Structures are given as structure tokens and as C-alpha cells.
């Protein structure tokens, strides 16, 4: 039972870390990501 609880807590910590990284730095809209002088969206 103890190992199941530790596994659940570890999964929550990993999920929150992935959310923080993806939400702030990696994910961008197509307008933000692919805007150059030659691109038209």
C-alpha cells in the first residue's frame, strides 16, 4: 500500500513538472512559432 501511494505522489509531481515546462516555454501558437518575414498565416 505504501509503494502505491509513493507511486501516485511521484506521478503527480512528474505531471506538474511537465505542465510547468510545457505551458511556459515549449508550447506556442502557430502565429508565434512560425512568424518570419516570408511566412503568411
Q: CB–CB of 34/41 below 8 Å?
A: yes
Note if the pTM is more than 0.75.
Answer: no
User: How far apart (Å, rounded) are the C-alpha atoms in residues 24 and 7?
Assistant: 26
List % helix, strand, coil for the chain (3-state, nearest 5): 70, 0, 30
pLDDT of residue 39: 56
User: How far apart (Å, rounded) are the C-alpha atoms in residues 32 and 30?
Assistant: 5
Average pLDDT value for the chain: 82
- Tens-place pLDDT, residues 16-30: 998 888 877 667 777
Amino acid at each position: 500500500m505504501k509503494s502505491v501511494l509513493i507511486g501516485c505522489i511521484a506521478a503527480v509531481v512528474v505531471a506538474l513538472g511537465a505542465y510547468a515546462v510545457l505551458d511556459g516555454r515549449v508550447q506556442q501558437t502557430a502565429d508565434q512559432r512560425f512568424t518570419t518575414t516570408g511566412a503568411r498565416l
